[in-house]
C-alpha cells in the first residue's frame, strides 16, 4: 500500500501556517490553535488528564458526521469514502511511528486486540513471554488469561524500589528460550521512559526473541521511529495524546516481517485473528480450500472493519503531525517545568523522573481521594498506584498551570 498523500483540512492548514515553524509558544497557540477547540475549551476546568482522554478538536464531530452523511446519501457507495479514510488512518499512523509502509499499520479497536493477534500468530502451543508488572491492565490481564489456560508461560519483571524497570533486568529474563518480550516505551502509571530500549530490542532479538512495544504513552508524545527502534511490533491507540477517542487503535508490524519472499500475507506468521478483509482478493468472493492471505500488512486485517473510528481519529492525527512531535515534546517539557515550579512554590515536591513521558506525578497516600478534591476545585487529574498524574497539553495556559499548582498545594494542606 503506498503512503497516501494527506489533504489537510483548509482550517487546519491555515492554523498551522499561521502558527509558523518556530518553537511553540502560548500566544501563537492561543491565536491559531485554541479556536480549533472551541467546544472543549468552553468547559470550566483546568484539564490535566490529557494523558488519559485527549481533548478533541471541533472538527472531529464534523468528520464523523461526514462519514455518516455519505451513508445516508450514497448507501453502499459510501464504502469508497470509508475505505479511503481507513487507508489514510493507516498512512498517518505509519508517519507518526516512522514507518515507511502504511500497510505496516493494522487497525484494531484496542491495543489488547493487537497483543492477542500476535500471541495467536506465533506458531507455538505454549509461548514463553517476558513482560513487566508495569504494563497497562489490558496487557496484564490478557497475559494472565493466556497463562491460566496454559497457552503461555509468563515471566514478570518486578519494579525496583522506586517503581522503575530496567533494560538489563529484562534482558536477563530473556536469557532462556523466550518467544516474546512485551514492554512499554513509557510506563502508564509512573511515566517512566524506558531507557536503553533500542539496545534491549537488539539484544533480545539476537537471542531469537520477538519484541512488542506498547507505545500508547509514547505516540504523539515523543518520537517513536519504529523502524530505527527495530521493534517487531508496536501497539497503541488514539484516545490519549492523539485526541482520536476510543476505538482507533493499531497493531504495527515491522516491515521486515511483511515480506517473506513467498508473497504469503502475514509473513512467517500464521495469522489466526483473521477474516475476509485479509483475503488476497477481498471482493472476488472466491473460496480457495486453504486461506490465501493478502500480501504484506493487509494479510493481518480481519473481518469487516469499523469505519467511524478512522474519521474520529483524523483531526487529531493531522494536528499532531502538523504540529510535529518534536515541537510538542519540547513544549510539553516546558509546561511540565512550569507546573513543577508552581507545585514547589506551593509546598509540593513533584516526582520528575529524568526520563519521562508527558506527565508528572505527585505522591499521595490517597491519590483517588485527592483527585476528587482537585476536581471539586476545578482541576481534572487522575490517580494510579499512589500517584496523582498531571499532564499539560498545548491547550493549557501558563496561568492554568500556576493555578493548578496552588490548588494541589491547598488540597494537600487540608
Ligand X SMILES: Cc1ncc(COP(=O)(O)O)c(C=O)c1O
Rounded to whole angstroms, how far apart are CA atoms 213 and 193?
Answer: 12
User: Which of 1, 34, 61, 110 is close enough to bind ligand X by CB under 6 A?
Assistant: 110
State the nearest-atom distance from the C-beta of 185 to ligand X, in Å: 9
Taking the least distance from each CB to ligand X, the nearer of 191 and 350 is: 191
User: Which of 216, 241, 269, 300 is close enough to bind ligand X by CB under 6 A?
Assistant: 216
Does 6 contact ligand X by CB under 6 A? Answer: no
Does 136 contact ligand X by CB under 6 A? Answer: yes
Does 312 contact ligand X by CB under 6 A? Answer: no
Taking the least distance from each CB to ligand X, the nearer of 41 and 308 is: 308
* Helical ranges in 97-184 per DSSP H: 111-121, 137-148, 167-173
State the nearest-atom distance from the C-beta of 182 to ligand X, in Å: 10
- Residue pair 1/298 in contact by the 8 Å Cβ criterion: yes
State the nearest-atom distance from the C-beta of 167 to ligand X, in Å: 18
Write out the three cell numbers for 199.
539496545
Rounded to whole angstroms, how far apart are CA atoms 62 and 89?
Answer: 16
Does 107 contact ligand X by CB under 6 A? Answer: no
Write out the three cell numbers for 13.
492548514
Does 111 contact ligand X by CB under 6 A? Answer: yes
Write out the three cell numbers for 350.
513533584
Q: In what order do the strands lie in the sheet with 360-363?
A: 360-363, 387-390, 382-384
Does 214 contact ligand X by CB under 6 A? Answer: yes
Taking the least distance from each CB to ligand X, the nearer of 142 and 294 is: 142
Rounded to whole angstroms, how far apart are CA atoms 72 and 320?
Answer: 31
Beta-carbon neighbour count of residue 87 at 10 Å? 17
State the nearest-atom distance from the C-beta of 263 to ligand X, in Å: 32
**Residues 6 or more apart from 42 whose CB is under 8 A from it?**
none
Which x/- pattern, by CB under 6 A, does the window 33-72 give for ligand X? ----------------------------------------
State the nearest-atom distance from the C-beta of 81 to ligand X, in Å: 26
Q: In what order do the strands lie in the sheet with 249-253?
A: 105-108, 249-253, 233-237, 210-214, 180-184, 127-132, 152-157
State the nearest-atom distance from the C-beta of 54 to ligand X, in Å: 11
Helices (H) and strands (E) in the chain, counts: 14, 12
Q: Of 72-80, 97-105, 106-114, 268-276, which part binds ligand X (CB under 6 A)?
A: 106-114
Does 165 contact ligand X by CB under 6 A? Answer: no
Helix (H) or strand (E) holding 308: helix 308-323
Does 217 contact ligand X by CB under 6 A? Answer: yes
Taking the least distance from each CB to ligand X, the nearer of 117 and 404 is: 117
User: Which of 112, 159, 295, 299 is close enough to bind ligand X by CB under 6 A?
Assistant: 112
Does 238 contact ligand X by CB under 6 A? Answer: no
Angle between helices 111-121 and 137-148 (to 10 degrees): 30
Q: Of 42-50, 120-128, 167-175, 214-222, which part binds ligand X (CB under 6 A)?
A: 214-222
Report which of 126, 136, 313 is spatially closest to residue 212, judged by C-alpha positions.
Answer: 136
Rounded to whole angstroms, how far apart are CA atoms 12 and 27?
Answer: 17
- Residue pair 50/358 in contact by the 8 Å Cβ criterion: yes
Taking the least distance from each CB to ligand X, the nearer of 3 and 53 is: 53
Q: φ, ψ for residue 52 (rounded to 5)?
A: -105, -70
Burial class (CB in 10 A: 0-12, 13-18, 19+), 196: middle
Q: Of 94-102, 110-118, 270-278, 300-308, which part binds ligand X (CB under 6 A)?
A: 110-118
Write out the three cell numbers for 181.
518480550
Taking the least distance from each CB to ligand X, the nearer of 229 and 348 is: 229
Does 140 contact ligand X by CB under 6 A? Answer: no
User: Which of 188, 269, 300, 311 is close enough to bind ligand X by CB under 6 A?
Assistant: 188
Does 249 contact ligand X by CB under 6 A? Answer: yes
User: Which of 138, 169, 205, 346 is close enough to bind ligand X by CB under 6 A?
Assistant: 138
Residue with the three cell numbers 533494560: 167
Taking the least distance from each CB to ligand X, the nearer of 187 and 311 is: 187
- Residue pair 297/229 in contact by the 8 Å Cβ criterion: no
Does 237 contact ligand X by CB under 6 A? Answer: yes
User: Which of 50, 184, 190, 312 is close enough to bind ligand X by CB under 6 A?
Assistant: 184
Interface with ligand X by CB under 6 A: which residues? Answer: 110-112, 136, 138, 184, 188, 214, 216-217, 237, 249
Amino acid at each position: 500500500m503506498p503512503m497516501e498523500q494527506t489533504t489537510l483540512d483548509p482550517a487546519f492548514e491555515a492554523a498551522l501556517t499561521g502558527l509558523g515553524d518556530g518553537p511553540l509558544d502560548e500566544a501563537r497557540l492561543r491565536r491559531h490553535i485554541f479556536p480549533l477547540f472551541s467546544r472543549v475549551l468552553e468547559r470550566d476546568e483546568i484539564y490535566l488528564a490529557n494523558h488519559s482522554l485527549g481533548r478533541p478538536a471541533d472538527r472531529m464531530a464534523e468528520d464523523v458526521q461526514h462519514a455518516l452523511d455519505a451513508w445516508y446519501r450514497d448507501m453502499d457507495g459510501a464504502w469508497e469514502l470509508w475505505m479511503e479514510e481507513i487507508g489514510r488512518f493507516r498512512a498517518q499512523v505509519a508517519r507518526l511511528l516512522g514507518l515507511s509502509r502504511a500497510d505496516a499499520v493494522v487497525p484494531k479497536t484496542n491495543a489488547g486486540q493487537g497483543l492477542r493477534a500476535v500471541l495467536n500468530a506465533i506458531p507455538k502451543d505454549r509461548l514463553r513471554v517476558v513482560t513487566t508488572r508495569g504494563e497497562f491492565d489490558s496487557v496484564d490481564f490478557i497475559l494472565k488469561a493466556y497463562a491460566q489456560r496454559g497457552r503461555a508461560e509468563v515471566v514478570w519483571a518486578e519494579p525496583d524500589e522506586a517503581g522503575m524497570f530496567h533494560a538489563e533486568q529484562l534482558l536477563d529474563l530473556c536469557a532462556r528460550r523466550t518467544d516474546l518480550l512485551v514492554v512499554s516505551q513509557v510506563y502508564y502509571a509512573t511515566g517512566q521512559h524506558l531507557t536503553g530500549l533500542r539496545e534491549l530490542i537488539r539484544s533480545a532479538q539476537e537471542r531469537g526473541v520477538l519484541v512488542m512495544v506498547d507505545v500508547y504513552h509514547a505516540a504523539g508524545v515523543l518520537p517513536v521511529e519504529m523502524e530505527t527502534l527495530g521493534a517487531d511490533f508496536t501497539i497503541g491507540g488514539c484516545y490519549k495524546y492523539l485526541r482520536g477517542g476510543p476505538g482507533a487503535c493499531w497493531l504495527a508490524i515491522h516491515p521486515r516481517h511483511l515480506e517473506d519472499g513467498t508473497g504469503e500475507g502475514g509473513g512467517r506468521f500464521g495469522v489466526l485473528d483473521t477474516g475476509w478483509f485479509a483475503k488476497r482478493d477481498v471482493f472476488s468472493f472466491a473460496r480457495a480450500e486453504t486461506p490465501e492471505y493478502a500480501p504484506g500488512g493487509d494479510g493481518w486485517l480481519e473481518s469487516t472493519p469499523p469505519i467511524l473510528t478512522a474519521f474520529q481519529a483524523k483531526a487529531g492525527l493531522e494536528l499532531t503531525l502538523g504540529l510535529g512531535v518534536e515541537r510538542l515534546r519540547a513544549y510539553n517539557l516546558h509546561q511540565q517545568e512550569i507546573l513543577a515550579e508552581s507545585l514547589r512554590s506551593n509546598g509540593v515536591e513533584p516526582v520528575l523522573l529524568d526520563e519521562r513521558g508527558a506527565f508528572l506525578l505527585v505522591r499521595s497516600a490517597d491519590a483517588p481521594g485527592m483527585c476528587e478534591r482537585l476536581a471539586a476545585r476545578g482541576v481534572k487529574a487522575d490517580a494510579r498506584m499512589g500517584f496523582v498524574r498531571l499532564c499539560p497539553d498545548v491547550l493549557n495556559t501558563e496561568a492554568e498551570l500556576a493555578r493548578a499548582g496552588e490548588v494541589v498545594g491547598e488540597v494537600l494542606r487540608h
